[in-house]
Structure 1
C-alpha cells in the first residue's frame, strides 16, 4: 500500500511521515560510501593489474556520479564527500549542504573518467558501459541547460562512430512488443539489472502494484501470462495517460505491449457464469477472447461502487514488469529491470536539438540528427504518425507514453518546471484541474456538474491534486535521517 499512499500524498509530505523516503537516502548514500572506498583502494593499492584498476575506478566513479545525481534531483539539500568512512570521521556531524556547482562538478568529472575508460560493450551482461555513462551525462547536461553537451552525449550513444566508437552498439528494438520480452539483454538496454531467482535479490511486487485484479470474482477469467498475471491496482493508468496513448489509434504500446487496457474471457471452465447479469450483453453466452464487460464494473457507472470496481479490476495496467515465464497467480515476480534504455536517449537528443534549433522535417531518419528525426524514431517504432513540428509539449507527451512507470516522469517534470502544475492538473483520475472529492457533484475547475462522461467524469483517487504544494518538488529529509545529521543541517524549504 506504500506506493498508493505516496502516490496519493498520504505519505512523503512532511519529515515525520516520510520514513519510507529514507530508503532512497540510505541506499544511494551507501552506494556513494562504498564507491568512495573502492576508488581510494584502487588508487592506492599496490600490485594490481592496471587494466583491472581502471575498470574498478571507472565503474565506481559511475556509481558514485549516478547516486549523487539521483540524490540531488530528489532531495536537493544533500552533502557530498569523496572520503571513505573510517574510525576518524564516522561520527562527524554534517551541518552544511554541498553547493550545486560542486555537486555537478563531481558528477561530470566522474562521468568523464568513466566515459574515457569504459568499453562500449561487455561480455558480462548487466555491467556498466560507456553508453551508460554517456546517457547519464546527457541528462546531467539537460539539467544544466547545456544543450550542446546533451546533444553530443546522447547522439554518441545513438551512434558511437560520431566519437570514434564502433557501429551499431545500441539500437532500438524493432517492435514495442519485444522491448520488455525475455531477459531484456538486447541492444536497446543501456543498463539492465540482472534479477535472478535465488541469486540476485528477492522477487519484487512491481507488477502486482501496476496491474488490476482482473480475475477476482470474475466468471470466465483467470490470471494468465498473456494478461500479465495478478495485480492489485495500487497504481494503474489514469485517464491522462490513457488519453495520450489513445491520441493515435495505431499506438502499439497500449495494445498489450507496454500496457494492457482490455481484459478478455480466458477460462473455459467458468465462462458459462458470464452469461447472466451483471455480465454484458446480458443473456448472451460469451466466447473465449471476448472483452469482459459488466454493468457493475463501469468507469462511467451510475454508482460509486460500479466505478470503484472498474478501477480495481478492469482499468488499464502496466505490464512492463511481468516475466514471460512468471507464475501468473502469485504476487511476487522475478524479472530484470532496465534502468536506462535507448528510447530515452533519443528523447534526450530530440530535446537538445529542439533547443538548439535543429528541428528537421517529418521525413528525417534518426541518423539525420534532428529533433524530429529522433523524436519520430520513437513514435514510428510504436506505429504512430510522424510529427511535422515539435515543441517541449510533444517531448513531454512522448516521454509519458514511452517511459511511464519507469521512474522517469517526476524528474522530467521537475527539470522542466512543470511538476507542480502537472500534479494539480492530472494526478489521479478526473478532468484536468478538477480538485473535486470523489463522487462530488461539481467540477471545481469549470464549476459545471459532473456528467459522468470522458470529458467531465467523477474524480477518483485524485488526492494528490489537492495535497500538492510548490515545495514538494524537493522531497523532505525524513526525521529519522535528519536526527543523524548535525543540528544546523538545513531541511528543504517549506518543510
Structure 2
C-alpha cells in the first residue's frame, strides 16, 4: 500500500494500537503463558497476528489460482512455478508446501484467539475478536477444501504431538463448518463504515457466504446476501479502473490484505516476482490476450487490458496490476485485494442467471453495464453465462479469482481440459486437486492420505 497506509489503522475499534504498530505487534509468542492469552490486550495482539498470518497465506497464492488456470503462466517455464501451468505438480513442490503451512499456521492463530476468548472482559471487543477469528478460519478452510479436498479440520487449537489434529475429514463436513463460521461472522462483525479498512467486516463475510451458496446452487440465499451488501450503501465503483490498485483505499475496496512499502515485516514479494527479470510469474497467456483483443472498447482497447497487461522487454504479457513504487522492489506495499464491490455486483448477476443460460433483468443489466462502461465497452441488452464468465475474467485478471470462479460455476474441468488441449497438452482431472505436501504426510504418522494420482 502506498504512503496512505500510514493512516489506515489509526483507529480500529475505539482503542486499538497506533497504525504503525497494527501489523508489528506480533509475534504472540511474547504474550501469554501456557499457550493461552490472559487479557484483552494480549488477545487483541493475537487478533492482529491473524492478519499478519494472512499476509503469508496470499504471498504465493497466484501460482495456485492464476497460473494453474487459463489466465497466466510463467515466461521462463522452469522450476516449481512451471509445475502449475503444465499440471506436473509433485508432492514436494515448495510453493504448495509453503501455502499449506501458512494456512495452518494462521488457523492456529485463529484458534488460539478462540480458545482464549472468554478472557476478554470488554463484551464489544469479545464479540468482534471472535467474529474476526471465525471469519478468517472460514476463509482459509473454504480455500483449502476446494484446493485439496479432504483435509484436517482446524476447529480447535492443535499443539505439537497432537496426531488427532492431522485426521482428514470429508469435504462435506468442512463445508458445513465454513458455513457455520461465516454465519457467525455475519451476525457479529461490524460493517465496513464502522471499522477501519484492513480488518474483516460484515460485507466481506456476506460476499464469501454468497459465493458458498452459489457453489451449491442456492441462488436465492446468495442473492439475499449480495443485496444486503448493496443496500447498505457503503461502496461504489471508482471512475478509473487503474485507481483501484494505485489509489488504494477507495470506495470500491471492501477488504484488502494490507502491506506496507519497504517494511521488512509487512511488505510483500509477489510484485517482485512478476517482473521480467524474475521469470515473469503471472505472465498472461495468449488465450487471455485474445480475450481482451476480441472485444475492443468504443474508442480503442478495453481499458482493463491497458492496466492489467504491460509490455516487458517487447512482450505485452506482463502483469501490470501490482507495479511497485517501493525503494526496495522485494519489499512492496501493494495490497492483496481480497474483496471489492465489482465482485459483489457481478455475483448479483450470477445469482439472477442461476441455472438459466441468460438474463435481461434490468437491475442485473444496470450493474453489468456500469462495469462495462468503466472499461470503455458498449452496453449490452442481454447477459449470458459465457458473457458473464468472460467479463469476470477480464475484470479480475491477476486477482486470484479465475480458478474458484470456474469451480463455483461447474466449468472447471471442461475449461482447463479445453485450454490444455489447445496447447497440445493433456489434462487429467486428478489434477483438479493439489497434492498433500510430502512433508505433511511424513510427519502425520499415517493420519494423512495423499490425493489420488500423486
TM range (shorter): 0.7 to 0.9
Are 1:409 and 2:410 counterparts? Answer: no
Tell me, yes or no, if the aligned pair for 2:80 and 2:95 is still in contact at 8 Å.
no
Are 1:113 and 2:177 counterparts? Answer: no
Are 1:76 and 2:149 counterparts? Answer: yes
SS of residue matched to 2:256 = strand
| Residue in 1 that maps onto 2:434 | 475
SS of residue matched to 2:116 = helix
1: CA distance between counterparts of 2:316 and 2:80? 17
2: CA distance between counterparts of 1:204 and 1:9? 26
| Residues 307-456 of structure 1: pairs in structure 2 closer than 5 A | 313-323=314-324, 325-326=325-326, 330=329, 333-355=332-354, 361=360, 364=362, 368=363, 370=364, 372-426=365-419, 433-435=422-424
1: CA distance between counterparts of 2:113 and 2:423? 51
Are 1:63 and 2:136 counterparts? Answer: yes
| Residue in 2 that maps onto 1:36 | 111
Give the superposition deviation at 1:195. Answer: 0.8
Are 1:6 and 2:7 counterparts? Answer: no
Rg (Cα) greater in structure: 1
The structure-2 alpha-carbon separation of the partners of 1:24 and 1:37, relative to structure 1 and needing over 3 Å to count, comes to same
Give the superposition deviation at 1:405. Answer: 1.1
SS of residue matched to 2:339 = strand
2: CA distance between counterparts of 1:417 and 1:398? 17
| Residue in 2 that maps onto 1:45 | 119
TM-score by length of 1: 0.69
2: CA distance between counterparts of 1:30 and 1:181? 30
Give the superposition deviation at 1:98. Answer: 1.7
**Structure 2 gap segments, 5+ residues each:** 1-77
The structure-2 alpha-carbon separation of the partners of 1:359 and 1:346, relative to structure 1 and needing over 3 Å to count, comes to same
| Residue in 2 that maps onto 1:196 | 260
| Residue in 2 that maps onto 1:273 | none
Q: Deviations over 1:420-451 (max 9, x none)?
A: 33334335xxxx7240xxxxxxxxxxxxxxxx
2: CA distance between counterparts of 1:14 and 1:106? 29
The structure-2 alpha-carbon separation of the partners of 1:201 and 1:425, relative to structure 1 and needing over 3 Å to count, comes to farther
| Residues 120-269 of structure 1: pairs in structure 2 closer than 5 A | 120=191, 121-160=193-232, 168-182=233-247, 184-199=248-263, 201=265, 203-212=267-276, 232-250=279-297, 251-254=301-304, 256-260=306-310
Q: Which of the pair is proportionally richer in helix? A: 2
CA RMSD of aligned residues (A): 2.7
Q: Deviations over 1:46-85 (max 9, x none)?
A: 6x11001001111011011111101111111112142223
The structure-2 alpha-carbon separation of the partners of 1:314 and 1:145, relative to structure 1 and needing over 3 Å to count, comes to same
Give the superposition deviation at 1:135. Answer: 1.0
The structure-2 alpha-carbon separation of the partners of 1:208 and 1:197, relative to structure 1 and needing over 3 Å to count, comes to closer
2: CA distance between counterparts of 1:139 and 1:50? 31
SS of residue matched to 2:337 = strand
**Structure 1 gap segments, 5+ residues each:** 161-167, 214-230, 264-311, 436-464
Q: Which of the pair is proportionally richer in strand? A: 2
SS of residue matched to 1:8 = helix
Give the superposition deviation at 1:211. Answer: 4.6
Give the superposition deviation at 1:345. Answer: 1.7
1: CA distance between counterparts of 2:272 and 2:112? 37
Tell me, yes or no, if the aligned pair for 1:96 and 1:490 is still in contact at 8 Å.
no
The structure-2 alpha-carbon separation of the partners of 1:85 and 1:113, relative to structure 1 and needing over 3 Å to count, comes to same
1: CA distance between counterparts of 2:405 and 2:430? 16
Give the superposition deviation at 1:141. Answer: 1.0
| Residues 281-320 of structure 1: pairs in structure 2 closer than 5 A | 313-320=314-321
TM-score by length of 2: 0.75
Give the superposition deviation at 1:86. Answer: 4.4
Give the superposition deviation at 1:315. Answer: 2.4
